[in-house]
Amino acid sequence: MDELQQYLIECKKKKGFLFVPYHAFGDPDPETSMKVVRTLFNAGADSIEIGLPFSDPVADGPVLQRTFRRILQHEFSMQNFIDFLSKIKEEFPDKKILVMGYINLFLQFGIEKLFEKFYKNNVRGVIIPDVPMEEKSYIIEQYNLHKFENKISWIDFITPTTQPHRLVKIAQNARGFIYMVSYKGVTGRNSFDLKPISKLFKQIRKYTGVPILVGFGVKTSANVKMALEYADGFIIASRLHELIEQNLNDRQKIPGLIEQELKLLLA
């Protein structure tokens, strides 16, 4: 069992479900960004997906596209990102982190070197939405990533359009957790209904014991309740960055507003 799966299973035992919010590094600024991370963990997050800003985020909807543009208007460096992870580890040494980003950024800065730095700073999973399962093994081989096999889990997606033979293969080879996409399309849509894809959860569980986390479209407590009917936990992203976007002129309010939102969400 890889380290992330073991960690998430232990977290789920404590409160019965997994809560993994997403936060893009540096939104709206590095100082407030750290306050947001602190708020998320204090509100009960088991882990956080820390997002690497990217200029062409193909899997992300309008809210996160605007988020990345906002961040990239300021100076961004991978070293600043690593330093941010280090601060999180220093303040929350028992928490495991996920990094979400697009493959060009990983390759640009050296994926093997990045994985080493990530692991040192409590990163136990990466989510790279523009690398399909079929290409992942090539990258692992090409860039000597086998040594991280049980240390940093490379998370796979299953979507409503995943073909049955691919679903089986993804589930059988899954590490950490499976990211279950609730609908076809990009992040941030307002509708959320898992009933049409309920059979997928049963199919996945036939082939793997890793946790299943639902993402895309989780914005309300009703969404959370539905997610937990079928999955082990949920991921929330766009709604939190909407709150940041709506309060750019009064940034001191942002952590408190996110705290209030999470209380409603988890009620």
Tell me which residues are annotated as active site: 49, 60
Helix (H, G, I), strand (E, B) or coil at 127: strand
Contacts by 113-118 with C-beta closer than 8 Å and gap 24+? 114/78, 115/145, 115/148, 115/152, 117/82, 117/85, 118/85, 118/152
Residues 6+ apart with CB under 8 A from 46: 8, 11, 12, 18, 19, 20, 95, 233
Cα dihedral sign for 30, 34, 36, 40? positive
Helical (H) or strand (E) element with 98: strand 97-100
- Of 3, 20, 5, 4, which is closest to residue 209 (Cα–Cα)? 5
